[in-house]
Amino acid sequence: MICVILTLFPEAIKPYLEKSILGIAQEQGTLQVELVNFRDFSTDPHRKVDDRPFGGGPGMVLKPEPIFDAVEATERKFGPCHKILLCPRGRTFTQKKARELARQERLLLLCGRYEGFDERIRAGFAWDEIAIGEYVLAGGELPALVVLEAAARLLPGVLGCAQSPELESFENGLLDYPQYTRPREYRGVEVPEVLLSGDHKAVEEWRRNEALRLTRQRSDSA
């Protein structure tokens, strides 16, 4: 998968890309990430990419020209991309969406800043508009990393055990069951006996019951 991230702060994203799952996926060659600063597409003498909103109001709005040019140059270079506009107005990101994105060959993620985008940017391309939750961040860089990591860890061969994503929370409608490792007792809390029994059927049943209990508990408290 190729993922191009359009951002005003590539240096804020870069260190995270080098670590853990995203770093491994790139080393393996499963993932290629390109950071594009759309300020480089500004034709303004001061490299401005934002301006005051028509009609007044607080803050600054991202201008259309540098973003149109950056998106078009990206697609000329890499080919047509599945284009994601990160914005609080978008559909809330889910594991199902992460799976759908993991099937794409090329992703383009556009990170906003300030008060957001000139509406013509929204209208000018076929965006998949994604919000990572019902809250407002200062920019789209963290949302881009959230979306990319959730999709990249589902790419074949990226996780150590190829089966593990299927067993995780949200994959089968259930939250994950509780896990324990050594020591058997820690600060007075014992590992449930069944997990030490060696009885695989009983372990499986206990895990399923726990997953059901936790899922029910969360939906009751929603």
Ligand X SMILES: C[S@@+](CC[C@H](N)C(=O)[O-])C[C@H]1O[C@@H](n2cnc3c(N)ncnc32)[C@H](O)[C@@H]1O
Return the number of other C-beta atoms located less than 10 Å from residue 216's C-beta. Answer: 12
**2/60 with CB nearer ligand X:** 60
Q: Does 86 sit near ligand X (CB under 6 A)? A: yes
Q: Does 83 sit near ligand X (CB under 6 A)? A: no
Q: Does 66 sit near ligand X (CB under 6 A)? A: no
Decide: 89 and 129 in contact? Cβ < 8 Å: yes
Q: Does 113 sit near ligand X (CB under 6 A)? A: yes
Give the angle 33-37-38 at the CA atoms, nearest 5°. 120
Coil/strand/helix, residue 8:
coil
* Per rule CB under 6 A, count of chain residues that contact ligand X: 19
Coil/strand/helix, residue 88:
strand
The 119-148 site mask, x for binding ligand X (CB under 6 A), equals ------------xxx-xxxxxx--x-----
**CB burial of residue 57 (10 Å; 0-12, 13-18, 19+):** exposed
Q: How far is the CB of 122 from ligand X (least distance, A)?
A: 10
- With CB atoms as reference, the residue minimizing the distance to ligand X is 112
The site for ligand X (CB under 6 A) is made up of: 86-89, 111-113, 115-116, 131-133, 135-140, 143
